[in-house]
Amino acid sequence: MMARNLLIFLLVGGSVFGQTKREREYRIDLEEFPSSSYKILQPYLEDAKRIRFYKEEDGEKQSFEAKFKKGRLKYSVEFDSTGQLEDVEFIIKENDFPSDVLRSVEAYLSNEFKKHRIKKMQQQYFNDSQGPAKTLRNAFQNLLIPELRYELIVNGRGKGPWRSFELLFDSEGNHISTRTIVTPKYDHVLY
Amino acid sequence: MYCTRALFLLLACLASAHLSAQDVGFWQPQIALNYKVSENYTHNFSVENRNFILRDNTAELSVRHIDFNHFSKWSIGSGQSLVLGVKYRFREAFDGDSDELRLTQQYNAANRKNVVRFGHRVRAEQRIFSERTIHRFRYRFALDLPLEGEELDIGESYFVASVESVSSFGKGSKPVHDQRFTAQLGWKLSAKAKLQLGLEHRLEQSNIAVEHTTFLLTSAVFSL
């Protein structure tokens, strides 16, 4: 009887405290940031404020991110575990969108959701064939090139309940992809 | 871990200083369970109790009351919810005062700005005792944020702080206004479990003759 109760307790406890794949993002010091990545980024950190470095671990995949504010824009520059540039993003507002692009994006959102609220907008430059130097230059000069992407975080309600989504649009405002975001729990604060 | 150790030490020092300066101090442990019933509807059940740890400048450990709580929450919009709650407080068995049945109606709106999440909570309560009923209205502003990155991951710590105004009205008695200040450190042990440790300071009856009370809060929160 005692052994059975202990087994039940361990199984229940294990299901509460057990975990499978662990994703983690945490702040690191400059010393832990890849030196090769910092070397590429350093010229763009002049006059930058609130420079912070993060490491992200997603199972076996690792990446590094530098976040800072320069001018009025908040930048995020991501590198992979080998120090190669992945992408550059910065937060924008509605009036930073070209008007025809904004119209296209708004039309998609109105069609997709009964009600929606845009929580965050980012302009993205991926490091593809152009190489890291050109990607960084394009991003920090805020060039409107065909390769750029717009990422929106939207709270929206379709037929179902309110959810958070991450939507990707191309440089002309055409929808590319949508991903549902798991919002952080609030039950430890609410009551 | 940039702020966690510093905040923990600060809370420990504040707890020690506050409790030694108070006439009354309480320890209030709680265990809570949350689960989804459907997409928009969740349940919360919790058990908490309040214990005297300091009374008339003398340390002690005695139970004041035990509460059993339930809240039903409906998500009504982006970060907004309506909640109905019921509490039964067993007090008569411990210090002779009346047990309490409490009915709660709550509206909450939470919004995240960058890393910090802000929440506004409005509550109406009907506190039903054996010989009287008190109506209470509360407004709380809370903020919470992760301490080790921009998202709260497993194994990481977080901080919650709040300030709350509480006003109580009962037949034949003066209205009573309280202010509550709370700060807590928490740890996300797994996807389903969090532990919290904190302090609450209350300025009770601030409109009549203010009484200072400090609470040491410990919570285990499970979300299935």
Q: For residue range B97-117, list pLDDT tens digits in order.
A: 999 999 999 999 999 888 899
Q: Which of B78, B160, B221 sits opposite A162 (nearest CB)?
A: B78
Cβ–Cβ under 8 Å, residues A107 and A97: no
Interface contacts A/B by beta carbons within 8 Å: 89
Residues 6+ apart with CB under 8 A from A67: A50, A51, A52, A53, A54, A74, A75, A76, A77
First to last CA, chain A: 37
Nearest residue to A87 via CA among A123, A44, A55, A52: A123
B217: tokens are 């809060």
CB contact under 8 A, A188 and B150: no
Distance, CA of B71 to CA of B40 (rounded, Å): 14
CB contact under 8 A, A184 and B152: yes
Q: B191 or A159: whose pLDDT is higher?
A: B191
Q: Where are the domains of chain A?
A: 21-83, 86-191
Mean of all residue pLDDT scores within chain B: 91
Spell B89-110 as b/e; 16+ CB within 10 A means b: bebeebeeeeebebebebebeb
State how far residue B47 is from chain A, nearest Cα, in angstroms. 12
What residue in B sits closest to A186 (Cα-Cα)? B110
Beta bridge partners of A92: A121
Residues of A with CB under 8 A from a CB of B: 16-19, 22-27, 54, 117, 119, 155, 157, 160-162, 184-191
From chain B, the residues in CB contact with A160 under 8 A are: 39
A186: tokens are 């609030």
pLDDT at A2: 53
Residue keyed to tokens 């593809």: A128
pLDDT at A69: 94
What residue in A sits closest to B194 (Cα-Cα)? A188
* pLDDT at B87 > cutoff 90: yes
Q: What is the DSSP string of B32-99?
A: EEEEESSSSEEEEEEEEEEEEEEETTEEEEEEEEEEEEEEEEEEEETTEEEEEEEEEEE-HHHHSSPP
What residue in B sits closest to A29 (Cα-Cα)? B2
Q: What is the DSSP string of A42-104?
A: GGGGTT-EEEEEEEEEETTEEEEEEEEEETTEEEEEEEETTS-EEEEEEEE-GGGS-HHHHHH
Which of B44, B45, B78 to probe by mutation at the A interface, max A CB count within 10 Å? B78
State how far residue A44 is from chain B, nearest Cα, in angstroms. 22
Q: Which of A19, A25, A160 sits opposite B190 (nearest CB)?
A: A19
pLDDT band at B58 (very low <50, low <70, confident <90, very high): confident
* Blockwise average pLDDT, block size 10, chain A, 191 residues: 47 43 82 93 93 89 94 93 93 89 94 92 90 91 91 88 92 94 88 92
From chain B, the residues in CB contact with A119 under 8 A are: 112
Q: Right CATH number for A86-191 from 2.60.40, 1.10.3470, 1.10.4100, 3.10.450? A: 3.10.450
Residues 6+ apart with CB under 8 A from A1: none
Nearest residue to B93 via CA among B113, B64, B62, B69: B64
Dihedral sign computed on CA atoms, order A35, A36, A42, A44: negative
CB contact under 8 A, A184 and B42: no
CB contact under 8 A, A189 and B2: no
Complex ipTM: 0.80
State how far residue B27 is from chain A, nearest Cα, in angstroms. 18
Residues 6+ apart with CB under 8 A from A65: A53, A54, A55, A56, A76, A77, A78, A79
Indicate the helix (H) or strand (E) that contains A112.
helix A99-112
pLDDT at A19: 41
pLDDT at B21: 58
Q: Stretch B56-81: mean pLDDT, rounded?
A: 92
Q: Which of B2, B75, B193 sits opposite A161 (nearest CB)?
A: B75
pTM of the model: 0.83
| Helix then strand then coil, % of chain A, to nearest 5 | 30, 40, 30
For B2-34, the pLDDT digits (tens) are: 567 667 666 666 665 555 556 689 999 999 999
Q: In this structure, which amino acid lies at residue B109?
A: A
